[in-house]
A and B are shown apart, each in its own frame.
Chain A
Amino acid sequence: MFKLNRSLQRKFDLLYLLTYKEITLKYKRTVLGIFWSLLNPIFSALVFMVAFKIFMRFKIENYTFFLLSALFPWNWFLSSITISARSLVDNVTLIKKVIFPRQYLIISVILAQLVHLFFSMPILFVFSLYSNHGISLLTWGIGIPIIILIQFIFTFGVSLIISISNTFYRDIEYLIAVIINLAFWMTPITYPMSSIPEKYRSLFLLNPLTSIMSVWRGLLFENKILWNYLFIALGIAMIFRKMEKRLDEVL
């Protein structure tokens, strides 16, 4: 029993250290350091706000908050995928010369990016507080942890596929840059689900990110749990969890 606890402790420590390394290294030799985690999403949000609020003039009430409620979670996904695509390739010596669970390299990337999401959470919190719908314990205490877990599982699965295939063909990481850009516009982030023509909506639901982002937006922007989307997202997470167990063996 003691032995098991120790090995669990070790795994936890390893994951913690790898994540810590991922976070601190990103901002080594910068002046602003970890503040970039806050500035980065703010700047990207500003760009979209200028584009859609001032130039395109979307007729959506409180568009800034509407956008951010899905954009920040999207950034978590985006940065996790982009960084983890190289995590196996860049750590070849580690993989070849040391034994440890290799998927930790990927998990630590996603966790580190999650920490960056946490940095932008206060902004979302303030927005929710002053929006018409307010906040409730149900959405922030239960809904958000659940959707984080679901998105984590989904991101992990996608990252596993990408990083493993990237070890065979480096073309993958370039391909991903294109696909992810497409995925961004194919997911209701800058626009609401309702602006998609009715007949295409079920097609959009094939994109797992559609339901995940919709749940986020429902929680933050409308302060309610959109059960239908949540269940779809949960189903996707379960499929990915199964696949991950297989891929872990490949690693």
Chain B
Amino acid sequence: MSKIIEVQHLIKKFPMIKNQRAFKEIVVNLHRFSSKKNNEHFIALNSISFSVEKGECLGIIGKNGAGKSTLLSLLLGTSYPTEGELKIYGKRTPLLELGAGFHPDLTGRENIVLNGVLLGLTKEEVLARQEEIIQFSEITEFIDMPVRTYSAGMYMRLAFSVAICTDPEILLIDEILAVGDESFQKKSQGALIPLIKSGVTTVFVSHNLEEVKKICNRVLWLDHGNIMAEGAAPQVISQYLHKINP
């Protein structure tokens, strides 16, 4: 087995921004501008190390503000570590916020193409899968309408369908399996699980512990930027539950 994701002593700090300083304050504080900078930091991730093997599904659990989403954005590459090393081999497909690349005034069909390309396909490849995506999303009759006319659920369904039809190699999922109504939720899980089992490496952030238990073979419990526990899903989850409901 080869390591797909390797993280070593990863540290992420954010500067504390209390208030954006208005111009006059900057002028008033000009003489101590340089010294005041970079003093206060919020440590989102405090030197964490782990690795994910090919085909593994790693679940990340923890309270709000534990650093889960920060970790995902680092893995995705939309933000950079303050210190430490991060190695990732393969194409990353984010399922962080469904429909991030959608534009409300474009039609469903146009958005499929734009998002498919944003997620790493060529236009030709997206067009070849267009029907499959539309079928999966179940939005056949509205597909040529602008997505601003869609209901929230339809919007999500379309976005999810695009994302899973783009041949992901590494899936980064942030709490999005609650997509659409119940039947679509079943369907989307039904589509995701075989994908994960088929050897797509997955990092899965969720508060839904049942789901984590079902999908992930390994779980990482984060708290205040530290790894509290790591290991097989049932053990870590029971440890975690024990901690929050003693």
Measured CB to CB, the residues of A under 8 A from B are: 6, 9-10, 13-14, 16-18, 21, 24-25, 28-29, 93-100, 171
Contact = CB atoms under 8 A, between A and B. Distances in A.
Interface in B86-109: 92, 94, 96-97, 100-101, 103, 105-106
Contacts of A28: 105, 146
Given A21-B106, A93-B97, A94-B100, A14 B78 contact: no
A21 B114 contact: yes
B100 A25 contact: no
Given A21-B114, A25-B106, A99 B92 contact: yes
A97 B98 CA distance: 9
B97 A97 contact: yes
Contact of A14 (B76, B118, B146): B118
A59 to B, nearest CB: 46
Nearest to B79: A96
Most B Cβ at <10 Å: residue of A24, A96, A98, A171: A98
Interface of B: 23, 73, 76-78, 92, 94, 96-97, 100-101, 103, 105-106, 110, 113-114, 117-124, 146
B24 to A, nearest CB: 12
Shortest 10 CB-CB distances between A and B: which pairs? A97-B100, A13-B123, A97-B96, A97-B97, A93-B100, A10-B122, A28-B105, A9-B122, A14-B117, A17-B114
Contacts of A95: 78
A25 B103 CA distance: 9
Contact of A97 (B94, B114, B146): B94
Identify the interface centre among A16, A18, A93, A99: most chain B CB within 10 Å of its CB.
A99
A171 B146 CA distance: 33
Contact of A10 (B73, B103, B121): B121
B96 A10 contact: no
